[in-house]
Amino acid sequence: MFKLIASSASQEKYMFLSTIKEIIVNKPECLKSYITTLMDLYYNQSNNDDEPIRNIVAESIGKLFVTHPAEI
């Protein structure tokens, strides 16, 4: 999924990022081994021209911080 986000168009990218956000909200423990990869992805997307993508990245990082503060 991480590779798909990097290579997709903005609309698809937003959908993929929304899916990851839903995982963070509903079952964050399953992402523990992917935190480093996920944060790299979020860092790269934080400079995206689309404001909705930047917003979902910020929301996701905030939610991850609540569940995985040591890793963030």
Q: Is the pTM here over 0.95, yes or no? A: no
For tokens 């997307």, the residue is 45
The span from the CA of 15 to the CA of 18, in Å, is 5
| Between 1 and 71, the higher pLDDT residue | 71
Residue 16, CA distances (Å) to 34, 69, 71 in order? 15, 23, 22
Residue corresponding to tokens 């930047």: 54
CA dihedral 43, 53, 13, 59 (to 10 degrees): 70
Q: Give tens-digit pLDDT for 15-62.
A: 999 999 999 999 999 999 999 999 999 999 999 999 999 999 999 999
